[in-house]
Each structure stands twice: as structure tokens, then as C-alpha cells.
Amino acid sequence: MTAPTTSAPTADQEPGRPGPKDTDDAFDHDRLPTPPGATALLLRSLLAPMRARVTVTTLLLLLQQAAVQAGPLLVAYAIDRAVPAFRDHDNGPLIAVGAGYLLCALASGGLQYAFILASARVNQDVLLDLRGRIFRHAQALSIDFHERYTSGRLISRSTTDVESLRELLSEGLQELVTVILSFLYISALLLWLDLGLGAVAVASFVPLYLLVRVYRQRAGRVYQKRSTAIAAVIVKFVETMNGIRPVRAFRREAANDADFAVLNKRHERVNGDALLEMARYVVGSRLVANAAVAGIVLWGAYRVAQDSLELGVLAAAVLYLRRLYDPIDRLGMFLNSYQSAAASLEKIAGLLAQTPTVPEPSVPRQLPALGSSDRPGREVVFEGVSFGYRTGGEVLPRFDLTLPAGQTVAVVGSTGAGKSTLAKLLARFYDPSGGRILLDGVDLRELAMPELRRGVVMVTQEAFLFSGTVAENIAIGRPDAGREEIERAAKAIGAHDFISALPDGYDTDVRKRGGRISAGQRQLVAFARALLADPAVLILDEATSSLDVPGERAVQRAMATVLRGRTAVVIAHRLSTVEIADRVLVMEHGRIVEDGTPAELVAGTGRFADLHRAWRDSLA
């Protein structure tokens, strides 16, 4: 038996999937094009609503640092003033020092407490806002985006990338501000204590700054390599675990171990490089800092010996110096988290800069009220509709089509003929490139989402189950439905028996033990969902591919009874599905080549007649 093959390469792609033609774009890489300045704009818009709280938080940190840095100053005062005064039986200054120190201690502790709480609130609110934005935006983006941007990338945008920003906010940023503030405070105090000593300390910042700059460049490169290396490890790992059945059945364990070892080794090496880079930085900065301390002590001590400097001032300077250079290591760590957070934020900004190609209407219209309950369907009109991807390549040339209310229309044709695209246009997963689609005279683009979904519902081939119970999964069709309605829908579709046989019946968690649900059963659940939604127009896109014939019959029965009078568009490979249709459309290369009742087409000499004969033969 020779069947017409679908060898034409371009016709062999499922519409809506990236074909060879449009793969060479930004979607191939992890990075979406980020408009210049989008990252800064995002950051600003996240922080803008919290301006007042950010100011308060910064103020708290300013005060806290002031309290912390007052300590050595009090030491200097105690040694140079309070001790001589005490010798002269004047207790005042010493008591003042004691009280001052106590006050500083309490203030720095209390302010630290207040600051951590305040900054945590700001951080958490920024993260809450950002998480929500990514989530809502991803949900608002149209199906064609989701088809091109793999789920893994989208998930890592809202998990790992948000996480790296969280690390920066919760640890890094506070660190940076503390470091800068203490640098400023200490430099100012040192200059005030003694201009010369202070100047030497400030001068030591120059080599430190150069060191930080070099480290930033070198570490930046290493960290980029490291994140690429770990990403490769993650992909290999996840793929192996998700594809464990083929891995086992085709004995790939040893080969996988070897492949993984290469990736893992590469990550190990780059990881080591990053740690060594850090080690170099630590040595360099410590050397500069300790040399500066020695130099300042030398000069200070020399001057004390010559009586041109007071001992207390020297003591305070030394105490300050230790504090001055302490945070340098932490500055390195901050740079690390800053770099990874900046990269993440850029990726997030790129995602958020994507505009939904199927936007919600600004002034939504209502669908006209349905005439009566025995005519629950709606009329669908494709008016001069054409469709092509933005990257070029026309999928559906301009066509007109009217589906009267209540009609069941089957669409057949080979893979790539444009059937799914037709369905997705009607479900408004895409908007047409030209023309318009009317539902009872209203353009789909003018309908708000809830209104549209009361009108049109689509059931697809991939029957995904959300975590939760079976009942909850069916209730997605209509969240306010009661248990009785859910069971009625399941019964109508023939899913009640298998659901009742599950360990907890309708309350069985689909992700837990014993919740194994086969592909066919998942499709039945998907149907029950659609039945419960009770739309005016129902689209079934290969929705019965994993069902056996009785399952398919149950679906057909339900459509004939429960969904009687609804407008239905049924896309199927199987001609058994077509039998119940009032009308059949045969599509080829994006065009409707045959249109008529099943009987008319079978009697004719077209492609459908050929297909039908072959199918009848298989049953005989």
C-alpha cells in the first residue's frame, strides 16, 4: 500500500513550532534581546514605590555605622583626657566615656536590629513584586512565545535568577553600603584625628581600588565560565532523570557516566579557578592593608616618640585601621554576588520586555446574549483571515470561512497542513496576520479573557495534570462547580469508573503514590474539564489520540448529548472521529481544499474519499 508521503520538509512541521527557517534567532540562546537601559529601568521601577522605606533603611544604617565607629574615638578621648583628669580627681570625663560607650553599644545593637528588619521588609517586598511580575508576565505572553522559549528557561528565570537577586539584596547590598559607609566614616575620622595619618590611609585606597578592579575583571570572566559549566551539568542531569526509561532500556548508563564526568570535570576546574582567583585577591588586599597599617604605625609612633602626636590618637588610629581594612574580603564576595545578580536581572528584564502578541483589549465588548437555552452555540466567521509567523513564512493564506452556530466541523489533513494553526487562531492563542475572526459578530480581539473563555474552549493533545486531586483538575473547567457537577461531567465522558477505582477516588492526589494515570485516562480528565466549562464553541485538537475506540465513542456521545447544539471544531487524524461531524474540511498546505458533509466527500473523488476507503479497509 502506498500512501502519499509527507516528504516535503517544510510541510512536516507542526505549525506553531519553530521550523528550521526561524531557529537562528535569539530564542536559541538563553538571552532574549534586552533593550538598552531595560535592566536599570526595571530596578528603578521595583524600588520606586519603596523610596521612603529605602531612605529610612539607609538612614538606620548611617546611624548604626556612626554608633559603631564612635568606639575608638572614645578610646582616644579616654587615654588622652579622661586618664589625666582622673589623676586630678575629676571623674567626670571617665564617667562620660563609660556612659558614651554604653550608649554607643546599645545604639549600634538596637539600630542593627532595626536595620535588619527594615531591610528585610524592603527586600522581601521587592522580591514579591518581581516574582509576581515575572509570573503574571509569563502567563500573559502568548502561546507562540511559550512554544519558542523552552519551559526550562522560563522556570529558571523565576527561580534561580530571582534567587541570585535575593542573595544580592539580602547579603550583598547591605555589605556594600556598610563597606562604603565605614570607608567614608573612618577616612573622615582619621583625617580629623590627624591629617597626615589620615592622608596615608586614604592614599592606600588607590592600590586597593586597582586591585578590586583587576579582580572584578578576572573574576567576571571566571564566573561567567562557571555559570555556563554548571548549566551544562544541570541540563545533562535533568535530561537523564526525566528520560530514565530510555536511558535504562538502551543501556546508556555507562556512556552517560562518561559524558557527565566530562561536564562535571569542567565545572570542577572552573570552580577551582574561581576559588583561586578569590585567594589571590585576598592575599593582595591583605598585603596592601597590612603594609598600610605598618606604615601608619611607624610614622605615628615616630611622631609620638618625638612628642608631636598624642598616644591616644595613635591608639585610636590603629584601632580604626583594623576596622578599615576588615571589610575588603567581604567586598570581593559582594562583587561575586553582584555580578551573578546583574546577569540574572538582565535576563529577567529581557523576559519582561517581551510584549504579548495577543494583548487584552483596552475597551472590551460583551458577547450578545444567547437566544435560548436550546441554542447554546455561537456562529464563527473567519473574515479574510491569513496567518504567518513574524519571522516570515505564510502558514495560512487568506481565506474566508463561516461556521454556523451548532455545527460540528471536522478538520482533517496531514501534519503541517495548518489544522492546528486554524484551531489556535479560533482559540485566540494567536492573532491573525490579516483579517478578523468574529464570534457572533464580535471580533475575538475585543473580548476580555473571561468572556472569551466562556465562548471558546480548546482541548489539546497534551493532557497535562496539575498537582492536586483529580476533582481539582476537572474543576479547572469551572472553579465554582460542586462535586456533583464534577462527577456528572466525568460520568458523561466515561471517566467515572477509573476515577472511582483510584485509591481515594476523586480525592486522589495525581502526584502521589498510587496516582498513576495513563495517557488515555489523562485525556479523559481533560475532556471532563471541557465538559464542565460548557463553552459555546469547543475546539478539540487531536484530543483523542491516546484514547481507544470506546473512549472516543464516549467522547462523541458526550458531544452529542451534553454538548448538543454547541459549535464544535474537531481536528483528528482518525476518521472515526469524523463520523459525527456535520461537515468536513480537508486542509492541505494551509488551504481548505475540500468542504462538505462527510457523505458528500465520501461519495466524491477527492482526498477525503481516498482516506475514507483506506480506513474502511482497515476495519473490514
Partner 1 sequence: MKTLLRLWPYVRPARARLFTAAFVAVLASCTGLVIPLVLKWMVDGPVADGDTAGVWLGALYLLLLGFAEALLFGLRRWLVARPLSHVEAEMRAGLYRHLQRLPVAFHDRWASGQLLSRATTDLMLLRMFLAFPLTFLLVNSVTILVGVIIMLLQDWALGLVILGPAIPVVVTCVIFEKRYAGVARLAQDQVGDLTTVVEESVLGIRIIKGFGRHRSQARAFRELSGTLRGTELRKAGLLATIWGVIVTLPEVAIGAALVLGCVQVADGELSAGTLVAFLSTALALRWPVDSIGFLLAMSQEAATATERYFEAMDEVPEQETCSSRAAGPHRPADGLRFHDVRFRYPDAPEDSPPVLDLIDLHIRPGESMALVGATGSGKTTLTALVPRLHELTSGRITLDGEDITAMPRQELRSRVAVAFEDPTLFSVSVGDNVLMGADERELDRALSVAQADFVHALPQGTDTQVGEQGLSLSGGQRQRLALARAVVGTPRFLVLDDPLSALDVHTEAAVEAALRDVLADTTALIVAHRPSTVQLADRVALLSGGRITAVGTHHELLRTNAEYAHLMSGSGDSGEGEDTR
- Give the residue, chosen from 264, 354, 357, 433, that forms a contact with partner 1 under the rule CB under 8 A: 264
- Residue 199 engages partner 1 in binding (rule: CB under 8 A): no
Task: Using the minimum distance from each CB to partner 1, give the nearer residue, 163 or 383.
Answer: 163
Listed in order, strand segments (DSSP E) in 29-181 are none
Task: Using the minimum distance from each CB to partner 1, give the nearer residue, 369 or 501.
Answer: 501
CA pair distance 203, 197, nearest whole angstrom = 10
Q: Please name which of 269, 169, 162 lies closest in space to residue 226, comparing C-alpha atoms.
A: 269
**Could you give the string, one character per residue 46-85, with x where binding to partner 1 holds by CB under 8 A and - elsewhere?**
-------------------------x--xx--xx--xxx-
Name the burial class of residue 593, with classes exposed (0-12), middle (13-18) and buried (19+) by CB atoms within 10 angstroms of its CB: middle
Q: Closest distance between partner 1 and the C-beta of residue 488, in Å? A: 18
CA pair distance 107, 611, nearest whole angstrom = 86
- Residue 526 engages partner 1 in binding (rule: CB under 8 A): yes
Q: Closest distance between partner 1 and the C-beta of residue 48, in Å? A: 19
- Residue 237 engages partner 1 in binding (rule: CB under 8 A): yes
> Up-side HSE of residue 359: CA atoms within 13 Å toward CB?
5
- CA distance readout (Å), 369 to 372, 451, 455, 537: 9, 12, 11, 14
- Residue 562 engages partner 1 in binding (rule: CB under 8 A): no
Task: Using the minimum distance from each CB to partner 1, give the nearer residue, 37 or 356.
Answer: 356
Name the burial class of residue 135, with classes exposed (0-12), middle (13-18) and buried (19+) by CB atoms within 10 angstroms of its CB: exposed
- Give the residue, chosen from 201, 575, 586, 602, that forms a contact with partner 1 under the rule CB under 8 A: 575
- Give the residue, chosen from 306, 362, 373, 605, that forms a contact with partner 1 under the rule CB under 8 A: 306
Q: Closest distance between partner 1 and the C-beta of residue 34, in Å? A: 21
Helices and strands (H, E) in the chain, number of each type: 24, 10
Interacting positions 96-125 with partner 1 (CB under 8 A):
97-98, 101-102, 104-106, 108-110, 112-114, 116-117, 120-121, 124-125
Q: Closest distance between partner 1 and the C-beta of residue 318, in Å? A: 6
Looking at this protein, which amino acid is placed at residue 489? Answer: A
- Give the residue, chosen from 51, 362, 372, 464, that forms a contact with partner 1 under the rule CB under 8 A: 464
CA pair distance 528, 491, nearest whole angstrom = 8
- Residue 201 engages partner 1 in binding (rule: CB under 8 A): no
> Up-side HSE of residue 555: CA atoms within 13 Å toward CB?
32
Task: Using the minimum distance from each CB to partner 1, give the nearer residue, 40 or 287.
Answer: 287
Q: Are 313 and 76 in contact, with CB atoms under 8 Å apart?
A: yes
| Complete DSSP assignment for 523-558 | HHHHHHHHHHH--SEEEEESTTTT--HHHHHHHHHH
Task: Using the minimum distance from each CB to partner 1, give the nearer residue, 23 or 366.
Answer: 23
3-state secondary structure of 363: coil
Q: What is the CA radius of gyration of the chain?
A: 35
Place of cell 509569563: 138
- Give the residue, chosen from 36, 51, 151, 371, that forms a contact with partner 1 under the rule CB under 8 A: 151
Q: Please name which of 209, 217, 208, 206 lies closest in space to residue 277, comparing C-alpha atoms.
A: 217
User: Which of 243-260 are b and which e, b meaning 16 or more Cβ less than 10 Å from the residue's Cβ?
Assistant: eeeebeeeeeeeebeeee
**Could you give the string, one character per residue 11-50, with x where binding to partner 1 holds by CB under 8 A and - elsewhere?**
-xxx--xx-x--xx--------------------------
- Give the residue, chosen from 155, 184, 203, 210, that forms a contact with partner 1 under the rule CB under 8 A: 155
Q: Closest distance between partner 1 and the C-beta of residue 560, in Å? A: 3
- Give the H/E segment covering residue 601: helix 598-603
- Give the residue, chosen from 1, 52, 363, 369, that forms a contact with partner 1 under the rule CB under 8 A: 1
How many residues in the shown chain lie near partner 1 by CB under 8 A?
Answer: 193
Interacting positions 333-362 with partner 1 (CB under 8 A):
none
- Residue 579 engages partner 1 in binding (rule: CB under 8 A): yes
3-state helix, strand, coil in the chain (%, to 5): 65, 10, 25
- Give the residue, chosen from 228, 354, 386, 545, that forms a contact with partner 1 under the rule CB under 8 A: 545
Helix axes 519-533, 483-493, angle to 10 degrees: 120
Looking at this protein, which amino acid is placed at residue 329? Answer: D
- Residue 376 engages partner 1 in binding (rule: CB under 8 A): no
- Give the residue, chosen from 37, 40, 136, 604, that forms a contact with partner 1 under the rule CB under 8 A: 136
- Residue 184 engages partner 1 in binding (rule: CB under 8 A): no
Interface stretch with partner 1, choices 37-45, 52-60, 205-213, 611-619 (CB under 8 A): 611-619
89: left (phi over 0), alpha (psi -120 to 50) or beta: left
- Give the residue, chosen from 52, 245, 484, 605, that forms a contact with partner 1 under the rule CB under 8 A: 245
3-state secondary structure of 430: coil
Task: Using the minimum distance from each CB to partner 1, give the nearer residue, 36 or 251.
Answer: 251
Q: Closest distance between partner 1 and the C-beta of residue 257, in Å? A: 6
Task: Using the minimum distance from each CB to partner 1, give the nearer residue, 383 or 468.
Answer: 468
- Residue 500 engages partner 1 in binding (rule: CB under 8 A): no
CA pair distance 529, 508, nearest whole angstrom = 16
Task: Using the minimum distance from each CB to partner 1, give the nearer residue, 129 or 383.
Answer: 129
Q: Are 173 and 325 in contact, with CB atoms under 8 Å apart?
A: no
Task: Using the minimum distance from each CB to partner 1, give the nearer residue, 176 or 313.
Answer: 313
